[in-house]
């Protein structure tokens, strides 16, 4: 067992930090970028590409970086620290892994270079109004027509779905609405006839979209992976995404904790720094404890995200998400409380971390959902 | 980064597990699993078995019967001892005074005291806390005065764990009341409990058991070589000892074992048409504690890995082990209390003997009578070894720079 990074990983971490760390230091700049389409910086996205970050999960043979969950973790931590707006989770983590694990060699050959050079952005059009966190609750329907399919249905809260050039859409090719079997992934041009997108801002300054598919015709070759057999892949990639946002949460929570400590050391009341008050010191320690426990589960999630034993992976990822959610909520709330008035304004960074942490809690399963999932799997955590 | 045990580490773990299960009497392990009273003889029996296989003092130098183990092997050993319900080798001997004698003692003290300390022929107790010196240990008032070739000790110690079973005590006493700072006038002594003038008075804890004591010193004359290390520099020994005490402080193995038992009992306890385990709310409460424990285990492993990686400064995460470990231990006792339900009420003398696996107690379920006493008893875990509030003070200052 070791927790050490390799030299290459250290190099990656340092260069990602240099790129993303200071990019959104200026909150006014961040607000301007978020307000204008596409809601992130294309200039910065090109630099992600230059560093090789967009090629991260793909194998070296197909022009990728050959990175695994640890490399993803390092990038996502930096994104968390930097409050970055780029669609890395949507394009690289979610769609990139769906393609890496599900797509044919021909599809990968066509898609991977375009993802890697930054010209192709993707969004995972999966969630539906009725589904909440149930990954297999898919009502969108793909009807056979000739050699292809016609898609019909509506998707909600598609992360960065308004600006993506292509969408990976889940649709049912057989079975009833909540059947784990019978779901297929389709690669669809975002401007294909019948696709209509309504973009919106998210609470944390990012972008989402509601997307409807009205008689959208696709060819057979648009299917990614086996027709009707996408269920396990969706679940696996959702688990990879949870490990990734766990890392983003730890990056954000660590930065927020550091910001709070600075504030406690510099803000004076009654003639002394408020950090000299024991009740505030103990609160800061409890935040530190929550942070270290979250960091431990971040590493555990990174280790287990690539686990081939699916039940073990599910339990580990759910356990990690529960811990991350709990720590994120505690650290976020307490950081705002310890900052006082400035903590509840848009003008100061602390509140933006708090908002991102809260949205991470809501994404890919909240605490009750993951407790139920862990429970359904028997719950006993025996790794290492 | 690879968070799995290596093949060698897994083999080592299996070897330790097999050894413990085959060599430590099952009756003793069952009593510990059930939260029942474990007597002096049980501790001595287990430690002597371990010592005969050079497993009682693995943390000591090889020359004194220790093992040249990696931090990970030491951790695995401690974890296997705890999760297989084997009593820890007596911490006062093995983790506390032994290393102090090795680091600060004379050759004669080492020769005379270390072998019986390892074999539990000498049972040590710890004379640190006093009625007026708890969290503020340096304010202690017990005095030791040089008189010819002897020291004369007067004063009182308290919360002295298992002093009723001890035949030696290590203690801090003030030798220079005029020192500039209170820490600078303290010395560290090793005292035979049979010396005239020592009285032990039991203090009964909330579970009804006899675990701690007051120890009184009334003109106790001890030889000059009762002093360890330099006169007036006992605080150095104390700090060294307290730093060693931190190892395995998270007690992950004990909490794991308790959670396994909680799952088994909840399945056995009738509730409604099924068992308590059918209650989703209850299962979720168990899961929350298990998740917290998994995170703590990973935190512990991070600390051990950074030790091995030869980091000079301790991993800051090590500072949370005591707080989180004690909170989780307490949470497991709350779950056990919940399982016992109304059958937690009947009181039984914890030190009374009754047959193994007794299910025919006068009231309630045979296992349920330990739930409340253990819950009461475990409140100590957030108080001893530096209360959790003192731990927070230390982290705020040393780690967060507040």
Contact residues on chain B for A264, CB-CB shorter than 8 A: 402
Q: Where are the alpha helices (DSSP H) in B24-147?
A: 26-33, 40-52, 71-83, 91, 98-104, 107-118
CB B340, CB B276: distance < 8 Å? no
Query: What is the SS3 assignment for A65?
Result: coil
Q: What is the largest CA-CA distance in chain B?
A: 77
Contact residues on chain A for B317, CB-CB shorter than 8 A: 292, 295-296
Instruction: Domains for chain A: give ranges and CATH numbers.
Output: 7-120 (1.10.540.10), 124-224 (2.40.110.10), 231-376 (1.20.140.10)
CB contact under 8 A, B1 and A371: no
Any catalytic annotation for residue B245? yes
B356: left (phi over 0), alpha (psi -120 to 50) or beta: beta
Q: Of the candidates A4, A280, A282, which has its C-beta nearest B1's C-beta? A: A4
Q: Of the candidates B6, B283, B392, which has its C-beta nearest A281's C-beta? A: B392
More confident call, A206 vs B363: A206
pLDDT in tens, B107-162: 999 999 999 999 999 999 999 999 999 989 999 999 999 999 999 999 999 999 99
Mean pLDDT to the nearest integer, A69-96? 98
Mean pLDDT to the nearest integer, B336-359? 75
* Alpha-carbon span B221 to B224, nearest angstrom: 9
pLDDT class of A146 with cuts at 50, 70, 90: very high
B396–chain A nearest CA distance, Å: 6
pLDDT in tens, B84-109: 999 999 999 999 999 999 999 999 99
Q: Is the pLDDT of residue B364 over 60?
A: no
Q: Pick from B31, B63, B62: which is nearest to B45 by CA? A: B31
Query: What is the SS3 assignment for B381?
Result: helix
Contact residues on chain A for B308, CB-CB shorter than 8 A: 2
* Alpha-carbon span A377 to B283, nearest angstrom: 12
Mean pLDDT to the nearest integer, A241-253? 98
Residue B100 phi, psi dihedral angles, 5° rounding: -65, -45
Q: Is the pLDDT of residue B355 over 70?
A: no
CB contact under 8 A, B2 and A2: yes
- In chain B, CATH 2.40.110.10 covers 124-233
Contact residues on chain A for B291, CB-CB shorter than 8 A: 297, 319, 322-323, 374, 381
HSE (CB half, 13 Å, CA atoms) of B303? 24
* Alpha-carbon span A181 to A54, nearest angstrom: 31
Contact residues on chain A for B392, CB-CB shorter than 8 A: 281-282, 285-286
Q: Is the pLDDT of residue B311 over 80?
A: no
Residues facing residue A145 across a β-bridge: A148
CB contact under 8 A, A282 and B298: no
Contact residues on chain B for A261, CB-CB shorter than 8 A: 400-402
Q: Best residue in B13, B297, B400, B401 to probe A by mutation, most A CBs within 10 Å?
A: B400
Mean pLDDT to the nearest integer, B290-308? 90
Q: Is the pLDDT of residue B353 over 90?
A: no
- Please tell me if residue A156 touches chain B, with a CB cutoff of 8 Å: no
Catalytic hit among B79, B130, B245, B338: B245
pLDDT class of B312 with cuts at 50, 70, 90: low
Please give the CATH topology (third level) of the domain spanning B124-233.
Answer: Butyryl-CoA Dehydrogenase, subunit A; domain 2 (2.40.110)
- Please tell me if residue A358 touches chain B, with a CB cutoff of 8 Å: no
Contact residues on chain A for B400, CB-CB shorter than 8 A: 261, 281, 284-285, 288
- In the predicted model, what is the mean pLDDT of chain A? 96
pLDDT of residue A80: 98
Query: What is the SS3 assignment for B278?
Result: helix
Mean pLDDT to the nearest integer, B273-298? 96
> Which helix (H) or strand (E) segment is A266 a member of?
helix A231-266
Residue of A nearest to B318 (CA): A292
A2–chain B nearest CA distance, Å: 5
Q: Best residue in A2, A378, A380 to probe B by mutation, most B CBs within 10 Å?
A: A2
CB contact under 8 A, A299 and B298: yes
* Alpha-carbon span A172 to A156, nearest angstrom: 16
Mean pLDDT to the nearest integer, B346-368? 61
Q: Is the pLDDT of residue B362 over 70?
A: no
pLDDT of residue A72: 98
CB contact under 8 A, A296 and B309: no
Mean pLDDT to the nearest integer, A13-34? 96
B175–chain A nearest CA distance, Å: 33
Query: What is the SS3 assignment for A144?
Result: strand
- Please tell me if residue A306 touches chain B, with a CB cutoff of 8 Å: no
**CATH numeric code, B249-398:** 1.20.140.10
DSSP state of B317: G
- Alpha-carbon distances of A362 from A206, A369, B205, B369, rounded to whole Å: 14, 10, 46, 42
Quickly count helices (H) and strands (E) in chain B: 13, 10
CB B212, CB B167: distance < 8 Å? no
Q: Is the pLDDT of residue A383 over 50?
A: no
CB contact under 8 A, B294 and A4: no
Q: Of the candidates A2, A323, A371, which has its C-beta nearest B305's C-beta? A: A2
More confident call, A1 vs A47: A47
pLDDT of residue B243: 78
Residue of B nearest to A315 (CA): B291
- Please tell me if residue A282 touches chain B, with a CB cutoff of 8 Å: yes
B321–chain A nearest CA distance, Å: 9
A374–chain B nearest CA distance, Å: 8
Query: What is the SS3 assignment for B121?
Result: coil
CB contact under 8 A, B296 and A284: no
Q: Is the pLDDT of residue B359 over 50?
A: no
- Please tell me if residue A299 touches chain B, with a CB cutoff of 8 Å: yes
Q: Of the candidates B9, B287, B401, which has its C-beta nearest A371's C-beta? A: B287
pLDDT in tens, B41-76: 999 999 999 999 999 999 999 999 999 999 899 999
Q: A133: burial class by Cβ within 10 Å (0-12, 13-18, 19+)?
A: middle
Residue of A nearest to B306 (CA): A3
pLDDT in tens, B365-385: 677 888 999 999 999 999 998
B245–chain A nearest CA distance, Å: 20
pLDDT of residue A384: 40
B84–chain A nearest CA distance, Å: 16
Mean pLDDT to the nearest integer, A282-298? 98
pLDDT in tens, B31-48: 898 888 889 999 999 999
Contact residues on chain A for B402, CB-CB shorter than 8 A: 261, 264-265, 275-276, 280-281, 284
- In chain B, CATH 1.20.140.10 covers 249-398
Q: Best residue in B277, B284, B300, B402 to probe A by mutation, most A CBs within 10 Å?
A: B402
Q: Pick from B96, B127, B129: which is nearest to B113 by CA? A: B96
Number of inter-chain CB pairs under 8 A, A vs B: 139
Percent of chain B with pLDDT over 90: 80
Q: Cβ neighbours of residue B344 under 8 Å, at least 6 residues apart? A: B337, B364, B368, B369, B371, B372
Q: Is the pLDDT of residue B246 over 70?
A: no
- In the predicted model, what is the mean pLDDT of chain B? 92
B235–chain A nearest CA distance, Å: 26
- Please tell me if residue A1 touches chain B, with a CB cutoff of 8 Å: yes
């Amino acid at each position: 067992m070791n927790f050490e990074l390799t030299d290459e990983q250290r190099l990656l971490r340092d260069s990602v930090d240099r790129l993303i760390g200071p990019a959104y230091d200026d909150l006014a700049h961040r607000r301007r970028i978020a307000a204008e389409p596409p809601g992130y910086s294309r200039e910065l996205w090109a630099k992600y590409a230059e560093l090789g970050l967009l090629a991260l999960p793909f194998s070296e043979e197909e022009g990728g970086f050959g990175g695994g969950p640890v490399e993803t973790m390092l990038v996502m931590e930096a994104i968390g620290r930097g409050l970055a707006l780029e669609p890395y989770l949507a394009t690289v983590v979610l769609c990139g892994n769906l393609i890496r694990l599900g797509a044919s060699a021909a599809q990968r050959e066509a898609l991977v270079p375009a993802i890697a050079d930054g010209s192709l952005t993707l969004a995972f059009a999966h969630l539906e109004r009725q589904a909440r966190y149930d990954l297999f609750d898919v009502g969108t329907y793909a009807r056979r027509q000739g050699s292809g399919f016609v898609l019909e249905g509506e998707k909600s809260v598609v992360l960065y779905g308004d600006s993506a050039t292509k969408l990976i859409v889940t649709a049912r090719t057989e079975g009833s609405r909540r059947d784990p079997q019978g779901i297929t992934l389709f690669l669809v041009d975002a401007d294909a006839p019948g696709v209509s997108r309504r973009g919106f801002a998210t609470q944390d300054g990012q972008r989402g979209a509601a997307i409807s598919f009205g008689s959208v015709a696709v060819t057979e070759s648009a299917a990614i992976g086996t027709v009707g057999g996408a269920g396990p892949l969706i679940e696996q990639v959702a688990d990879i995404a949870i490990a990734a946002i766990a890392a983003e949460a730890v990056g954000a929570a660590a930065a927020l904790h550091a910001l709070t400590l600075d504030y406690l050391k510099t803000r004076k009341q009654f003639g002394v720094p408020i950090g000299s008050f024991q009740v505030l010191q103990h609160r800061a320690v409890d935040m530190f404890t929550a942070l270290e426990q979250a960091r431990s589960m971040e590493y555990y999630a990174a280790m287990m995200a690539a686990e081939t034993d699916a039940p073990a992976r599910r339990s580990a990822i759910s356990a990690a998400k529960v811990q991350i959610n709990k720590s994120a909520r505690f650290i976020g709330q307490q950081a705002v409380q310890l900052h006082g008035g400035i903590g509840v304004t848009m003008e100061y960074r602390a509140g933006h971390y708090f908002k991102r942490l809260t949205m991470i809690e809501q994404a890919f399963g909240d605490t009750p959902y993951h407790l139920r999932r862990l429970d359904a799997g028997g719950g006993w955590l025996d790794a290492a | 980064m690879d968070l799995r045990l290596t093949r060698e580490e897994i083999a080592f773990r299996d070897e330790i597990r097999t050894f413990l299960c085959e060599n430590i009497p099952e009756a003793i392990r069952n009593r510990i699993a059930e939260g029942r009273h474990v007597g002096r003889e049980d501790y001595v029996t287990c430690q002597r078995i371990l010592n005969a296989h050079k497993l009682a003092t693995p943390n000591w130098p090889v020359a004194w019967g220790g093992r040249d183990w990696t931090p990970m092997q030491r951790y695995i050993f401690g974890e296997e001892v705890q999760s297989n319900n084997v009593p820890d080798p007596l911490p006062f001997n093995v983790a506390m005074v032994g290393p102090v004698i090795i680091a600060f003692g004379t050759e004669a003290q080492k020769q005379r005291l270390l072998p019986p300390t390892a074999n539990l022929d000498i049972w040590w107790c710890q004379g640190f806390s006093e009625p007026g010196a708890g969290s503020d240990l340096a304010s202690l008032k017990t005095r030791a005065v040089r008189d010819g070739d002897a020291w004369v000790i007067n004063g009182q110690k308290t919360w002295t764990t298992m002093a009723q079973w001890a035949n030696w005590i290590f203690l801090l006493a003030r030798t220079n009341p005029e020192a500039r700072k209170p820490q600078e006038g303290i010395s560290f002594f090793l005292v035979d409990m049979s010396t005239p003038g020592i009285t032990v008075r039991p203090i009964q804890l909330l579970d009804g058991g006899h675990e701690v004591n007051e120890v009184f010193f009334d003109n106790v004359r001890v030889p000059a070589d009762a002093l360890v290390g330099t006169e007036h520099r006992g605080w150095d020994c104390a700090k060294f000892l307290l730093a060693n005490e931190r190892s395995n402080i998270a007690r992950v193995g004990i909490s794991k074992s308790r959670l396994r038992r909680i799952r088994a009992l909840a399945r056995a306890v009738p509730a409604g048409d099924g068992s308590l385990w059918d209650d989703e709310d209850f299962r979720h409460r168990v899961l929350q504690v298990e998740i917290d424990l998994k995170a703590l285990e990973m935190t512990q492993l991070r600390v051990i890995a950074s030790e091995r990686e030869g980091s000079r400064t301790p991993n800051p995460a090590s500072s949370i082990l005591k707080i989180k470990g004690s909170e989780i231990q307490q949470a497991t006792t709350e779950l056990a209390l919940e399982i016992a339900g109304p059958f937690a009420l009947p009181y039984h003398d914890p030190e009374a003997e009754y047959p193994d696996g007794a299910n025919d107690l006068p009231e309630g379920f045979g296992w349920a009578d330990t739930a409340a006493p253990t819950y009461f008893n475990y409140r100590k875990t957030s108080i001893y070894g530096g209360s959790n509030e003192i731990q927070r003070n230390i982290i705020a200052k040393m780690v967060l720079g507040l």
